[in-house]
Amino acid sequence: MRLLPTITDPSQIRNLSIAELEELAAEIRQAICDQIAKTGGHLAPNLGVVELTLALHYVFDLSHDRLLFDVGHQCYPHKLLTGRYPQLSGLRTSKGMSGFPAPSESPYDLFSVGHAGTGISTAVGMARGDTLNREAFDPETNPEGRRVVTLIGDASIVNGVAMEGLNNAGTLKRQFLVVLNDNGMSISKPQGAVAQYFDRLRMSHLYADLKKGAKGILRHVPGGSLIHEAYHRTGEATKAMVNDGAWFEHFGLITVGPIDGHSLPALIEFLSEARDLDRPMVLHVQTVKGKGFAFSESESSKFHSPPAFAKFEEQGTSNCRVELRSGGRTFTTAFADALCDLMAADERVVTATAAMPDGTGVSEAMERFPDRAWDTGICESHALDMMAGLAKCGYKPFLAVYSTFFQRAFDQAFQEAALQGLPVRLCLDRAGLVGGDGAVHHGFCDISLLRTLPETCITAAIDEPSLRGALEFMRTYEEGISAVRYPRDVVSERLLAETCPPFQLGKARCLTPAHDVLTAGDAGGVAPDVAVLAFGVPVFDALDAAEAVAPDIRVGVWDARFAKPVDTSLIAALLREGVPIVTVEDHTIVGGFGSAVLEAAQELGLDTSSIIRLGLPDAWIHQDPRSSQLAEAGIDAAGIGRALRRAAEGQPSRPLTEPKPNASQSPTGSQRVH
């Protein structure tokens, strides 16, 4: 009988033997692998923490104690042990479980967590809160109180917020456990001096002699008297594995390990001792990312978060061949090639990414231009400041970063780049709705943030030629920050037969020349009944919507290209012609491209009542396929079509050669502005 389907509550695993726990671990791995093969998802990170998650639930009562995840994409085993096995088949969709901790799913998930470095700080907050509430564990006064555990990875421990958390964790006068999952990887190979420290630690043979010297060691670390006292409360296993050279000792945390993160007996023994220690501790656990399958262990970066894949077993052997399913050429791949071409043509171009060389496409540049391309690790703030320093030295820095992670470096974009007038260039991958990763990863606010910074220029790509055009424009833009945003999607080939004109600051591109109010009048063109100004890839849904409502409604469609500055000449021409405008963007409606159009019209003294804004609502959109999310937001072809019909009510078509009405004569309607 299979064990996993019978687990509805983690308390059940405490009745299992070690052999049964190991059997359950194998079932969890197989279930995760089988599901991700169908839907995609985070594979290697979850395979690496199966035994560790089992041991945490075996030792701690996490319906009462606190478990704070740092990197949430390691939560699948935790979810399967907390009653969510039936939801696995709907992984990363609205019908199943999300790929990250979600308090809406279960009380075992304390925070929605999708970014790194936050777990220690939120755990410190809960530890202090439980103390204030008199609910904290104390071995003498409250042995039934709440314990606090946070799970963090070796790559995210170097994040600035994690450092701040450690600095405060060391001041706690109560139980507090940081479990460091050290797998030698983040998404790709960790970077920096701390990563090198862990590399040396893994190769060290120091630990064989630790038991003999452990007691003396504790007398010499910062806070030594407190830790020396705590030492006497630990068991023999912990005493034997105290690490005298541990970096964390300088923060005042007793440090134990490293221990084997795939040995259930060892994990249970050490966690049982750490559970009752009344001082903050780091338990250093070594794991293998992708554990359990040869293909995911050997290529853990590739299988960090793969799309759906197929496995082919070689009959009569244990060999397995895996093929990832591809939906076509992605924007990330297109960016990788364009960036390398840019670097080959201009030796002043440099690039960096924050722990996402494969995810952003910078890995190709790192191979071809190792002296001008860097992975800084999970530290977006540092990466942006480093780019500012390079710009100050006369280089042309391009920072490739997911839109959702850029917001972590907004302060640096403001202070060290924009305020200095430095031309740092931002390549915002995964802009807009991201599909299965859901709300924690949507790139929904980059336009709103960047629009606040003077001299900043914000562009969007709609396909590969326009992406190349935007990057070339940014290469020569020296007045301040520039940014290009593009989605987690395949590039469209719809316009490849047309010439992609160069980017000009603040100028849109008309994709329906017969309705171009700026150029088509002399050719006998007809003004549109409705104009769509689409920022980025929603332009293709706008074209589909325009075809769907024709010939009843004539629609002019523009690739807006710039959210800052917007094309004021085009906006003025349309509104003075009495043409209602529908703006569309894969970004929040609050402060985005549509807001920029509305503000520009108001500043020109034009009637704004015929402007309809479409974008992401002022609400969270959760995990689902990207196409479903676009429909939910009303920015797919059907949603745009509905807006076109609404905008066209009472709007006759007019030849462009007719006299232009005054703005005051434009049709009005309170329903126009949303």
**Residue 632 falls within a domain, yes or no?**
yes
Catalytic residue among 51, 249, 380, 416: 380
Domain end marker among 232, 256, 286: 286
The band of 154, judged by pLDDT with boundaries at 50, 70 and 90, is confident
* Residue 460 and residue 525 share a domain: no
pLDDT band at 250 (very low <50, low <70, confident <90, very high): confident
Same domain, 95 and 244: yes
Q: Which of 79, 289, 576, 672 is catalytic?
A: 289
128 within some domain: yes
Instruction: Kindly state whether residues 225 and 114 are assigned to the same domain.
Output: yes
User: Which of these three, 261, 286, 311, is where a domain ends?
Assistant: 286
Residue 479 clears pLDDT 80, i.e. is over it: yes
* Mean pLDDT, residues 402-426 taken together: 97
In a domain, 311, yes or no: no
pLDDT for position 288: 93
Residue 273 annotated among the catalytic residues of the structure: no
pLDDT band of residue 310 (cuts 50, 70, 90) is confident
Asked, for residue 555, whether it belongs to a domain, the answer is: yes
Instruction: Identify the weakest region by mean pLDDT among 221-225, 284-288, 397-401, 536-540.
Output: 221-225
Stated pTM of the model: 0.85
Residue 497 lies in a domain: no
Same domain for 155 and 82, yes or no, is yes
Do 518 and 471 reside in the same domain of the chain?
Answer: no
Residue 281: beta bridge partners? 177, 254
> How large is the average pLDDT for residues 393-407?
97
Rounded to an integer, what distance in angstroms lies between the CA atom of residue 30 and that of residue 32? 5
E runs forming strands in 378-493: 396-402, 425-429, 457-460, 482-485
CATH code assigned at 350: 3.40.50.970
Average pLDDT, the chain: 87
3-state SS assignment for residue 618: coil
- Rounded average pLDDT over 110-116: 90
What CATH number corresponds to the domain at position 620? 3.40.50.920
Q: Which domain holds residue 367?
A: 331-485
The answer to whether residue 674 is domain-embedded is no
H-helix segments, 371-463: 380-392, 403-406, 410-412, 446-450
Read off the pLDDT of residues 463-474 as tens digits, 9 standing for 90 and up: 999 999 999 999
Assess whether pLDDT exceeds 70 at residue 585: yes
Q: Which residues contact 358 (CB under 8 A, 6 or more apart)?
A: 187, 188, 301, 302, 304
The reply to whether 289 belongs to the active site is: yes
The tally of domains found in the chain comes to 3
Q: For helices 50-59 and 18-39, what crossing angle results, to 10°?
A: 130
Can you tell me the mean pLDDT for 175-198?
Answer: 68
Active-site residue (options: 29, 92, 372, 408): 408
Same domain, 480 and 522: no
Residue 253: both structure tokens together: 């945390």
- Is 408 one of the catalytic residues? yes
Under DSSP, the state recorded for 325 is -
For 196-213, what is the mean pLDDT? Answer: 43
Do 264 and 338 belong together in one domain?
A: no
**Together in a domain, 568 and 468:** no
Where residue 258 falls among pLDDT bands split at 50, 70, 90?
A: confident
Name the percent of the chain in helix, strand, coil, to the closest 5: 45, 15, 40
Question: Are 347 and 469 found together in one domain?
Answer: yes
| Residue 24 pLDDT class (50, 70, 90 cuts) | very high
Q: Indicate if 517 and 438 belong to the same structural domain.
A: no
280 and 359, same structural domain? no
The reply to whether 558 and 623 lie within a common domain is: yes
Q: Is 142 inside a domain boundary? A: yes
Q: What value does the mean pLDDT take over residues 602-617?
A: 96
Lowest average pLDDT, out of 47-61, 97-111, 313-327, 625-639, goes to 313-327
Q: Is the pLDDT of residue 198 over 90?
A: no
Residue 321 domain flag: no
Q: What percent of the chain has pLDDT over 90?
A: 73
